[in-house]
Structure 1
């Protein structure tokens, strides 16, 4: 924890220097990326600086309490309890701010929702998940943009990619990665039987321009005509694009915009996020001997949650959380679930945290 905070503070201070560098100032794209990353770290860096200052005051007060001057000892002993209380309070705030690891304070992320087993009902469930996240984003004041979508004739989604931007967006949504299962009577069911279907969600931190270098020779670009539900062509120009990263084989396509240029820009953003996520996954495998967070592992194959409509019940299987307000949650009130997951993660960190001294 302290190592992570030290690295974040060092990065923040480096960005402060970069913003004063004439070479950076002359490059508007780089300056914008540096300023954005600096801004995303400012709150955490300020809080950690405050923590370190309080810790320094505690050290000085203890030295005074051990000294020979009776007046200074009395003063130090009176100050110590309040200083220790303040330090613990600030540390608790830091815990909350760093839930999610080194990407906790990312203000942008990419979310991909894909229909799983269940045919048309799975696609409709994927649509419902999208609507849930969309309403939650609106309530949080986040900016949401559709990057690409593959719709079905019944109005569902085979898959849909989103970009979300706002304070705390990745820290909150990272817990959505995994398998989501729904139990309900489908719109297409005439006998009133409850069916089970599934969708998967992947949430990836969106890196800054300077973090992932991607050259045209690193990927193959294919252009094709965008199509709608059922495969019918919705335009006769090759506005849709497909990118294949040559080293990893990662494939991204985008056809939501009528402009090929805009589709390419969106596809590059998604590809960079997938590459960043791919590298993070590889790093996690190398550190497989280290403890991994139960709720923040981002394992796409893990079934994380069940949405049971007949019982109006949501169950998050990772932490044993059950809420009988599924109608409110699916309508966008995801906060009780998110808060439960973050509180669980925070308590895990507290339990493993060694003494602050």
Structure 2
């Protein structure tokens, strides 16, 4: 007997994420006096039920609020009602499609074979429309838009354990993110690069600007581990080295050092000093280096890469704002709910998040259990997009689960 099956998935497959799954196998030609089993099962799915609860809340708010009220509370409620209007419109489309499906199902018993065939084709299209609403439209409307989508990203890279091999890998990681930015159509700018004598990098700062740059790169924060045979190793032994990556949100520079939402000027201790290290005749002769200390948090930023004190001061305040904004975003996530614990836990920058195994040609992200068998593609930036996409999906799925709890 011919049977059809439909699966509704709103999360990544296990073990990478919790999965809300629904499946049904109704008869191809149901009796006219029974409901369509596929549509009934869709209506019982977590997404559709969350939509119904959210719209019930909207109806309750409408019943309580006065449209012509000028109170701050009522204005806020009216705003929330207005924000749920797209969800209400999508639900209206759902109900219209559901009604059409019920009418079409009854036509499957028509004695005319041509009418039956047309009804079967129409039924398949209507079921696909319902599944599209439940799988794509509803989840997108249940999850609030990202509040950080407009932010650029500032990446701080620092060589870790592994000596010179670590600094060499840090240089390759820096290049990986530059190549990724090119592949994504973003703009990358290396604003600081402390190179070593062997061509490696002790530490570096990279700015990446473009659509959703911070939202996609924020999960790169953590320890990146490389396993490979160094060029100087004659016995073919595999060495392990690490590079620490810190991704900070970078807001548009408005030309002002002070961001009243993040800090006040009296909270910042500013010190100037002579630059240190190898360089031209400018180094060690003028007090161009700047060090900032945010007294409430103890965050310290030192900058000496630019030639003038003014440029270093501007850059230091830019980094300070980014670090304070990063701190605020992490606190906001923890205060709301810890449903994204497996992604946010790397915020202390000490967790190993990814391993680049060159002998086995494998890159593994330990948070989502995803491995790609092409180290070169990842290091060239293009392969890294697969990890970013999966991490973004995981984040979206966690937000959707949070929406289920909230509705």
**Corresponding residue number in structure 2 for 1:305:** 354
**Corresponding residue number in structure 1 for 2:265:** 216
The CA deviation string for residues 14-39 of structure 1, in whole angstroms up to 9 with x for no partner, is xxxxxxxxxxxxxxxxxxxxxxxxxx
Q: 1:329 and 2:365 equivalent?
A: no
CA contact (8 A) 1:54 1:83 kept: no
SS class of match (1:294): helix
C-alpha distance in structure 2 between counterparts of 1:353 and 1:275, whole Å: 28
Following TM superposition, by how much is the alpha carbon of 1:231 offset from its aligned partner in structure 2, in angstroms? Answer: 12
- Counterpart among 281, 287, 292 of residue 340 in structure 2: 292
**Corresponding residue number in structure 1 for 2:138:** 91
CA contact (8 A) 1:177 1:203 kept: yes
**Corresponding residue number in structure 1 for 2:164:** 120
Q: Which runs of 5+ in 1 are unaligned?
A: 7-45, 64-77
| TM-score in terms of structure 1 length | 0.70
| TM-score in terms of structure 2 length | 0.62
Structure 1's 233 and 309: CA in aligned 2 closer, same or farther, altered over 3 A? farther
Following TM superposition, by how much is the alpha carbon of 1:127 offset from its aligned partner in structure 2, in angstroms? Answer: 1.3
C-alpha distance in structure 1 between counterparts of 2:278 and 2:175, whole Å: 19
**Corresponding residue number in structure 2 for 1:153:** 197
**Corresponding residue number in structure 1 for 2:369:** 320
Note the 1:249-268 alignment, pairs <5 A: 249-268=298-317
- Aligned pairs, how many? 301
**Corresponding residue number in structure 2 for 1:110:** 154
Q: Say what the alpha-carbon RMSD is for the aligned residues.
A: 4.0
The CA deviation string for residues 121-147 of structure 1, in whole angstroms up to 9 with x for no partner, is 112211111110011011112122233
Q: Which protein has the larger Cα radius of gyration, Structure 1 or Structure 2?
A: 2
Note the 1:35-50 alignment, pairs <5 A: 50=86
**Corresponding residue number in structure 1 for 2:44:** none
C-alpha distance in structure 2 between counterparts of 1:215 and 1:349, whole Å: 33
**Corresponding residue number in structure 2 for 1:53:** 89
**Corresponding residue number in structure 2 for 1:196:** 240
Q: 1:185 and 2:229 equivalent?
A: yes
C-alpha distance in structure 2 between counterparts of 1:265 and 1:48, whole Å: 42
SS class of match (1:170): helix
Note the 1:217-256 alignment, pairs <5 A: 217-228=266-277, 234=283, 236-256=285-305
Following TM superposition, by how much is the alpha carbon of 1:205 offset from its aligned partner in structure 2, in angstroms? Answer: 1.7
Structure 1's 217 and 230: CA in aligned 2 closer, same or farther, altered over 3 A? same
**Corresponding residue number in structure 2 for 1:26:** none
Q: 1:172 and 2:216 equivalent?
A: yes
C-alpha distance in structure 1 between counterparts of 2:290 and 2:202, whole Å: 18
SS class of match (1:354): helix
CA contact (8 A) 2:154 2:248 kept: yes
Structure 1's 142 and 52: CA in aligned 2 closer, same or farther, altered over 3 A? farther
Structure 1's 270 and 214: CA in aligned 2 closer, same or farther, altered over 3 A? same
Q: Which moved more, 1:217-226 or 1:244-253?
A: 217-226
The CA deviation string for residues 283-340 of structure 1, in whole angstroms up to 9 with x for no partner, is 445556x423423444312111100111111011111111111011111211122122
Following TM superposition, by how much is the alpha carbon of 1:201 offset from its aligned partner in structure 2, in angstroms? Answer: 1.0
C-alpha distance in structure 2 between counterparts of 1:136 and 1:279, whole Å: 27
Q: 1:274 and 2:274 equivalent?
A: no
